Amino acid sequence: MHLNPHDVLIVIDVQNDFCASGALAVPDGDAIIPLIHELAPLFAHVILTQDWHSPQHLSFASAHPGKRPFENIEVSYGEQTLWPEHCVQRTLGAEFHPDLHLPQAELILRKGFNPQIDSYSAFYENDRTTATGLGGYLRERGLKRVFLVGLAYDYCVGYSALDARGQGFEAIAVRDACRSIGLGDSVAQMEAEFAAAGVKVIDSRELLNGR
């Protein structure tokens, strides 16, 4: 697969709390970092996202007495999964993994900072209507095709890819440069949504061999 100057690599949430010994560790999460470093130089544009929650964020089980992580609750905008406290603003867990080295990144997009709304997607908060501005940013800069890597495939990578399609961008998830949380059948469900929305899933070899 050949890349062009309108392609952008979006590196989703490669933060301490999603990596080994983090508060919401994604199994094998750190393992993708060397591959991300191989892929990034192929792209003219790189964007990072950073999960960036207020203390006592609505998505934290600890903010709901009697509730436990990974339970679902009903909130104003619908169903919300509850998580362990993670990626709290200005904590070590919210920092990018220390091995992640992408100084060329042009934008660091923070999301999930609204205390009352979670944000899996880099484009829309979980109410599905509050925009982060990323769609407008990409359009104004003439970026048309987004490649997604990072954590977690079945949540923030997945919802970002779906919303990219919804905003009229081509969206391609690089499967082996992602890892999943895996709650129930979250991976299969996300892949069914990818198929319906036209999100492509590729292996990194398709990029690395096509140079």
Instruction: Tell me if residue 111 is catalytic.
Output: yes
User: Of 46, 43, 70, which Cα lies nearest the Cα of 59?
Assistant: 70
Rule CB under 5 A: which residues touch Zn ion?
51, 112
Asked if 83 is part of the footprint of ligand VGL (rule: CB under 6 A), the reply reads yes
Instruction: Tell me if residue 156 is catalytic.
Output: yes
User: Of 102, 117, 112, which Cα lies nearest the Cα of 47?
Assistant: 102
Q: What are phi and psi of 190, to 5 degrees?
A: -65, -40
Query: Which residues between 44 and 63 bind ligand VGL (CB under 6 A)?
Result: 51
154, HSE (Cβ side, Cα atoms, 13 Å): 16
Residue 167 bridge partners (DSSP):
none
Q: Quickly list H helices, 59-155.
A: 134-140
Quote the least distance from Cβ 83 to ligand VGL, whole Å.
Answer: 5
Quote the least distance from Cβ 140 to ligand VGL, whole Å.
Answer: 25
Asked if 152 is part of the footprint of ligand VGL (rule: CB under 6 A), the reply reads yes
What's the chain's length in residues?
211
Q: Which of 7, 19, 51, 111 is catalytic?
A: 111
Asked if 13 is part of the footprint of ligand VGL (rule: CB under 6 A), the reply reads yes
Quote the least distance from Cβ 106 to Zn ion, whole Å.
Answer: 23
Q: Enumerate the active-site residues.
A: 13, 111, 156
Q: Which residues bind ligand VGL (CB under 6 A)?
A: 13, 18, 51, 83, 120, 151-152, 155-156
